[in-house]
Structure 1
Amino acid sequence: MKPTKDIVGLRIISISDGTQVGAVKDIVINPQGKTLDFIIVDQPTDYFGAKVIAFTDILGMGEFAITIPHLGVIQDVAQAKEAQNLLRQDTRVIGTKVLTRKGQLIGEVKEILIDEETGHIAACLFESDGQMHEIGADQVITLGRELLIVESETTTSNLRDMQGDEEDPIEAIDTPTSVTVDVDPTEEPEPEPESGFNLFEQRQLQYFIGKKAEKDIVLDNGEVLRAGDIITPAHVTLITSRNTLMEVTSHLQKN
Structure 2
Amino acid sequence: MHRLQDLLGLPILETETGTQIGPIKDVVLHIEEARVYGITIDEEKPNSFEMGIAYVDLLSIGRDAVMVRNHSVMHQCASIFEITSNYYVKELFKKEVITEDGLRLGILVDIFFDTSTGEMKWYQISDSLVSDLLYGRRIMPLPKIQIVGKDTVIVPGEMAKLLHKEE
Change (3 A) 1:147 1:48: farther
Change (3 A) 1:23 1:81: closer
Q: For the residues of structure 2 that align with 1:85 and 1:110, how far apart are their CA atoms? A: 23
Q: For the residues of structure 2 that align with 1:47 and 1:155, how far apart are their CA atoms? A: 44
Q: For the residues of structure 1 that align with 2:38 and 2:122, how far apart are their CA atoms? A: 18
2:138 aligned residue: 133
Pairing of 1:151-170 with structure 2 (within 5 A):
151-156=156-161, 158-162=162-166
Number of aligned pairs?
158
Unaligned runs of 5+ in 2: none
CA contact 1:110–1:127 (8 Å) conserved in 2: yes
After superposing on structure 2, the runs of 4+ consecutive aligned residues of structure 1 that deviate more than 3 Å are: 83-87
TM-score (norm 1): 0.55
CA contact 2:94–2:109 (8 Å) conserved in 1: yes
Q: Which amino acid aligns with 1:16?
A: E
CA drift of 1:86 comes to 4.8
> More helix per residue: 1 or 2?
1
Identity between Structure 1 and Structure 2 (%)? 22
Name the SS of the counterpart of 1:5 in structure 2. helix
Q: Which amino acid aligns with 2:81?
A: E
Q: What is the aligned counterpart of 1:148 among 125, 145, 153?
A: 153
1:60-112 Cα distance to aligned partner (Å, 9 max, x none): 0001211111211100235x15254356x556321111111323222111111
CA contact 2:146–2:156 (8 Å) conserved in 1: no
Q: For the residues of structure 1 that align with 2:59 and 2:125, how far apart are their CA atoms? A: 30
CA contact 1:12–1:68 (8 Å) conserved in 2: yes
Unaligned runs of 5+ in 1: 163-171, 173-255
Give the number of the structure whose alpha-carbon radius of gyration is greater: 1
Name the SS of the counterpart of 1:8 in structure 2. coil
CA contact 1:140–1:149 (8 Å) conserved in 2: no
Q: For the residues of structure 1 that align with 2:12 and 2:31, how far apart are their CA atoms? A: 25
> More strand per residue: 1 or 2?
2
